[in-house]
């Protein structure tokens, strides 16, 4: 995606360098100033916000949870779904109001929406009270942008991915027990409905030595669990001849000895036997796999450009279930893709019945401008799409409950990571299969992997007590 009419990027020392450590200095300009960050979208964005927070704190900013107190508001946006887009523009209305009250307030917008030409054009026309728009490829340059901000709208969006930048252990991590670790950026799959390849660029893998160093460092700091992150993690290393593949990387991460490892997201097309072998061999790789299906109809899978058939998906599913003991598998399903007939939808219900997933994220298709699917004729009424979603969710929830019931009266290890939202006498955490468990226990167990006896099961969570 080219954005030639945008302000030319300032000269950057980092250009053409594939490995840098930023060493930002605290400046008087920002000492004690407050930033408020709002994040939309996926885990990649959540982790990007951790990086942004650290970059801001490196130059003197402090975080505030009250946007009314902020000197800088950052919106880290998502372009994957239409409603995320609407929410961002809704939120911008509140920011505009605050800026009227406090003209010194700075407003910055970043993330996937910033990479969309139509969004930038809309901002230029209607939201010029925003001070800074920066893209997904140049987050690490935020301190420079803030130091050199001129009056009016500053646009710093790179249309090319450039190189992978290393900022060392510079993340203000949201948790003390679990950490996101990016292993790669971008996606080359170009599924016809997806905006990610346009907003996040082509696949670029981090060097394995940097990833392993980061994981070892997290282990030393007492982190119990790492999640290896990428739009398509099992394509790891495909962009470099001398790099490990994902199975090799996973094996080496397992050897660091960190207690729990998981990864998101896997494309079924790149899921190799070697990966299954590594997962089954190392007890610290969690037996949990998110394997997006999207549709059970071969015709729709082809229109989506997913590169596998329903048979191939089910074969892979079966192989994973057979070779990884007690594995939990979750999925994503889109209903109402352009041209989806009742027969196509019944194929999806059929595969969901057969696979009996532990859980599924289900969505009604929403067109993203600039993707091939957005131009496909779509005649299915919204009421019919909603009806399909409802029918799908009934089956998904049924199997979610059935799978959870298998834990009843059994003892399972739970990493306890926080106070339960509904009951402050309980902590919540996750099994190694990513089942949410609310546990009646003492706060001192926070951050520990604790054996828990499961006493009750629901569709979306389990209850338990500490096993003595
Ligand atoms: S694999 Fe497909 S759905 Fe996933 S990020 Fe890439 S293009 Fe999007």
CATH label of the domain that carries residue 122: 3.40.50.12160
Q: State both tokens at 344.
A: 């196509």
**CA-188 nearest atom, ligand 1:** 6
Is 103 contained in some domain?
Answer: yes
Q: For 316-330, how does the pLDDT look when each residue is reduced to its tens digit (9 = 90+)?
A: 999 999 999 899 999
pLDDT band at 205 (very low <50, low <70, confident <90, very high): very high
Together in a domain, 103 and 197: no
Please tell me if the CB atom of residue 197 comes closer than 6 angstroms to any atom of ligand 1. Answer: yes
Gap from CA of 384 to ligand 1 centroid (Å): 26
Number of helical H runs and strand E runs in the chain: 12, 19
Structural Rg of the chain based on CA atoms: 23
Q: Domain for residue 458, yes or no?
A: yes
150 with 87, same domain: the answer is yes
* Together in a domain, 308 and 438: no
Q: What pLDDT digit, counting tens, does each position of 316-365 carry?
A: 999 999 999 899 999 999 999 999 999 999 999 999 999 999 999 999 99
- In this predicted structure, what is the pLDDT of residue 26? 59
> 201 CA to middle of ligand 1, Å?
11
User: What is the CATH classification number for the domain harbouring 331?
Assistant: 3.80.30.20
Q: Residue 187: pLDDT above 70?
A: yes
Cβ of 414: how many Cβ atoms within 10 Å?
Answer: 28
Mean pLDDT, residues 240-249 taken together: 92
- Helical spans, DSSP H, in 196-272: 196-200, 208-220, 246-255
- Report H helices in 332-372: 342-355
Q: How far is the CA of 229 from the centre of ligand 1 (A)?
A: 14
Residue 18 — very low, low, confident or very high, per pLDDT cuts 50/70/90? very low
Tens digits of residue pLDDT in 414-467:
999 999 888 888 999 999 999 999 999 999 999 999 999 999 999 999 999 999
68 within domain boundaries? yes
pLDDT averaged over every residue in the chain: 89
| Model pLDDT, residue 24 | 52
Given a cut of 50, whether residue 108 has pLDDT beyond it is yes
353 and 240: one domain? Answer: yes
Phi-psi label, residue 407: left if phi above 0, alpha if psi -120 to 50, beta otherwise: alpha
Q: Are 187 and 228 in contact (CB under 8 A)?
A: no
Q: Which of 73, 91, 92 is nearest to 35 (CA)?
A: 73
Alpha carbon nearest to ligand 1 atom 1, residue: 189
Cβ of 249 less than 6 Å from ligand 1: no
State in Å: Cα 197 to ligand 1 middle: 7
Handedness of CA 164, 369, 193, 366 (dihedral sign): positive
Q: What distance in angstroms lies between residue 192's CA and the mean position of ligand 1's atoms?
A: 9
On the question of pLDDT at 9 being above 70, the answer is: no
Q: Is 16 inside any structural domain?
A: no
Are 151 and 250 part of one and the same domain? no
Please tell me the distance from the alpha carbon of residue 360 to that of residue 230, in angstroms, as a whole number: 19
pLDDT at 15 over 50: no
Residue 231 CB–ligand 1 contact under 6 Å: yes
Is residue 29 one of the residues assigned to a domain?
no
For residues 329 and 209, membership in a common domain is answered with yes
* Together in a domain, 262 and 394: yes
Question: What pLDDT is attached to residue 2?
Answer: 32
Domain boundaries, position 191: 178-405
Between the CA of 186 and the centroid of ligand 1 the distance, in Å, is 9
CA 189 to centroid of ligand 1, rounded, Å: 6
| pLDDT number for residue 39 | 94
Of all atoms in ligand 1, which is nearest to the CA of residue 294?
A: 3
CA distances from 46 to 222, 229, 235, 430 (A): 21, 11, 21, 19
187 touches ligand 1 (CB under 6 Å): yes
Q: Which of 103, 123, 156 is the last residue of a domain?
A: 156
pLDDT at residue 43, as a whole number? 87
Q: What pLDDT does residue 8 have?
A: 30
Most informative mutation of 42, 232, 306 for ligand 1 (most atoms within 8 A of CB)? 232
Ligand 1 centre distance from Cα of residue 194 (Å): 6
Secondary structure class of 343 (helix, strand, coil): helix
Mean pLDDT on 377-402:
97
Residue 168: pLDDT band by 50, 70, 90 thresholds? low
Asked whether the beta carbons of 93 and 115 are under 8 A apart, the reply is no
> Are residue 252 and residue 358 in the same domain, yes or no?
yes
Stretch 370-375: mean pLDDT, rounded?
94
Kindly report the protein residue whose alpha carbon is nearest to atom 8 of ligand 1: 194
pLDDT for res 12: 30
The answer as to whether 58 is a domain residue is yes
Q: Is 79 in the pocket of ligand 1 (CB under 6 A)?
A: no
Is 371's pLDDT higher than 90? yes
Is residue 64 predicted with pLDDT exceeding 70?
yes
Min mean pLDDT across 300-304, 311-315, 422-426 is at 422-426
* Total domain count, the chain: 3
Angle between helices 273-281 and 246-255 (to 10 degrees): 10
Q: Are strands 260-264 and 204-205 parallel, antiparallel or unpaired?
A: unpaired
Q: Which of 99, 122, 156 is the last residue of a domain?
A: 156
pLDDT given at position 241 = 84
* Nearest CA, atom 2, ligand 1: 191
Domain identity same for 342 and 425: no
| 148 shares a domain with 132 | yes
**Do 254 and 398 reside in the same domain of the chain?**
yes
Whether 25 maps to a domain, the answer reads: no
Answer whether residue 21 is part of any domain. no
Task: For residues 214 and 132, state if they share a domain.
Answer: no
């Amino acid at each position: 995606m080219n954005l030639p009419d945008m302000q030319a990027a300032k000269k950057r020392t980092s250009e053409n360098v594939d490995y840098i450590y930023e060493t930002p200095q605290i400046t008087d300009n920002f000492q004690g100033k407050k930033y408020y960050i709002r994040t939309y979208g996926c885990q990649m964005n959540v982790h990007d916000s951790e990086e942004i927070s650290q970059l801001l704190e490196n130059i003197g900013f402090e975080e505030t949870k009250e946007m009314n107190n902020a000197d800088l508001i950052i919106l880290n946006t998502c372009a994957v779904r239409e409603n995320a887009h609407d929410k961002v523009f809704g939120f911008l209305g509140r920011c505009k109001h605050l800026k009227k009250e406090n003209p010194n307030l700075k407003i910055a917008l970043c993330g996937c929406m910033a990479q969309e030409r139509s969004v930038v054009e809309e901002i230029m026309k209607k939201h010029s009270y925003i001070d800074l728009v920066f893209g997904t490829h140049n987050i690490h340059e935020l301190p420079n942008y803030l130091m050199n901000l001129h009056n009016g709208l500053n646009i710093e969006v790179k249309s090319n991915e450039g190189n992978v930048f290393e900022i060392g252990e510079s993340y203000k991590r949201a948790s003390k027990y679990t950490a996101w670790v990016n292993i790669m950026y971008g996606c080359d799959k170009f599924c016809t409905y997806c905006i990610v390849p346009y907003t996040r660029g082509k696949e670029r893998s981090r060097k394995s030595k940097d990833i392993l160093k980061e994981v070892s460092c997290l282990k030393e700091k007492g982190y119990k669990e790492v999640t290896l992150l990428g739009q398509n993690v099992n394509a790891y290393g495909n962009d470099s001849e001398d790099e490990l593949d994902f199975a090799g990387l996973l094996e080496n991460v397992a050897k660091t000895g960190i207690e729990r490892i998981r990864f998101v997201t896997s494309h079924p097309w790149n899921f190799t036997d070697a990966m299954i072998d590594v997962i089954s061999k190392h007890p610290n790789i969690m037996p949990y796999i998110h394997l997006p299906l999207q549709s059970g109809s071969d015709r729709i899978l082809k229109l989506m450009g997913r590169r596998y058939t329903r048979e191939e998906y089910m074969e892979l599913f079966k192989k994973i279930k057979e070779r990884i003991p007690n594995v939990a598998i979750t999925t994503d399903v889109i209903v109402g893709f352009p041209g989806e007939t009742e027969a196509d939808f019944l194929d999806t219900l059929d595969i969901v019945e057969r696979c009996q997933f532990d859980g599924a994220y289900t969505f009604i298709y929403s067109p993203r401008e600039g993707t091939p699917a957005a131009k496909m004729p779509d005649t299915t009424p919204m009421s019919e799409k909603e009806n399909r979603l409802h029918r799908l969710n009934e089956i998904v929830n049924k199997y979610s409950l059935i799978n959870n019931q298998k834990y009843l009266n059994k003892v399972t290890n739970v990493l306890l990571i926080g106070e339960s939202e509904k009951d402050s006498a309980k902590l919540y955490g996750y099994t190694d299969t990513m089942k949410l468990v609310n546990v009646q226990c003492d706060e001192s167990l926070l951050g520990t992997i604790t054996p828990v006896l499961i006493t009750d099961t629901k569709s979306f969570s389990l209850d338990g007590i500490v096993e003595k």
